[in-house]
Amino acid sequence: MRPPQAAGKDPRAPEEPPSRPGNPAGKVQKAHASLRRPLSARPTRTDRGSIAPLLPLLALLILLLGGLVIDAARQLNARAKAIAYAEEAARAGAGAIDLGSENLELITVDAGARVEEYCTRVLQDTRSGVKTCHLIGIETIGEDDPRPLVVHVRVTTQIPSTLLGLVGVKVFTAAGDGRARPFEGVLQPDDIRTGTGDG
């Protein structure tokens, strides 16, 4: 009489030898089983979060670019303001005409005093942003006209930076020159443009 067999097992099938310690047969079978799994079931490596360390650098770069654009525009405005102040100071000095002379002449001392007076008022105004304002000199008109009638003034302004202060740039300095001279035969403000007026 044969011993009872396990249900569902073919009695004629050869018995598998038990796996021994150190026998790689069990490991090979597990490897084959993992290869037969679908791709969706296998663990995959992703790059999620790899850009996170770059985000602070990108944000800082965007801030610096924005600050460069804003502060560059503000510096151009400061330079235009410096030129405007210099031209006004030069006009003040060009008004020092020697009325007792038959020819058009400037009284150099009076021209310098008028420029200095205007610069003093501008420097006292803290809202102007002007840091320096001074007379460069009385220049000649040109090669064809050597008369010293052109008043030359230089003004420098200073403004605080905005976003570029993050990288240590605290202030911007801009300079501008202004020149002015008197004209002959100008009796009314519009005469210089129309060319009219008595000699």
How far apart CA 66 and CA 173 sit, in angstroms, is: 19
Token digits of residue 85: 């102040």
Residue 198 maps to a domain: no
Give per-residue pLDDT as tens, 133-179.
Answer: 999 999 998 888 888 999 999 999 999 888 777 777 888 899 999 99
Within a domain: 12: no
- Confirm whether 75 is domain-assigned: yes
What residues make up the domain containing 178? Answer: 56-182
CA–CA separation, 174 and 71 (whole Å): 12
Instruction: Look at the chain and report how many structural domains it folds into.
Output: 1
Q: Residue 198: its pLDDT value, please? A: 39
Q: Residue 193 pLDDT more than 60?
A: no
Q: What is the pLDDT of residue 67?
A: 80
Look up residue 172 and give its two tokens: 């911007």
The CA-based angle 89-91-93, given to 5 degrees, is 75
Q: Look at residue 199 in the predicted model and tell me its pLDDT.
A: 35
Q: Is the pLDDT of residue 49 over 50?
A: yes
One-letter-per-residue 3-state SS of 154-195: EEEEEEECCHHHHHCCCEEEEEEEEEECCCCCCCCCCHHHHC
Q: What is the mean pLDDT of residues 112-120?
A: 96
pLDDT of residue 194: 46
CA 122 – CA 129 distance, rounded (Å): 9
In a domain, 189, yes or no: no
Q: Is residue 143 part of a domain?
A: yes
Give pLDDT, residue 170: 87
Task: Mark out the alpha helices in 8-125 (DSSP H runs).
Answer: 25-35, 55-94, 108-124
Residue 160 CB partners (closer than 8 Å, separation 6+): 170, 171, 172
Lowest mean pLDDT: which of 48-52, 94-98, 137-141? 48-52
Residue 50 within a domain: no
pLDDT value for 71: 86
pTM above 0.85, yes or no: no
Mean pLDDT of the chain: 78
Q: Is residue 110 a part of any domain in this protein?
A: yes
pLDDT band at 86 (very low <50, low <70, confident <90, very high): very high
pLDDT for the residue 2: 55
Please state whether 55 falls in left (phi above 0), alpha (psi between -120 and 50) or beta. Answer: alpha
- pLDDT for 50 beyond 50: yes
Q: Which of 43-47, 92-96, 168-172, 192-196 has the highest mean pLDDT?
A: 92-96
On whether residue 30 sits in a domain, the answer given is no
Tell me: pLDDT of 59 over 90. Answer: no
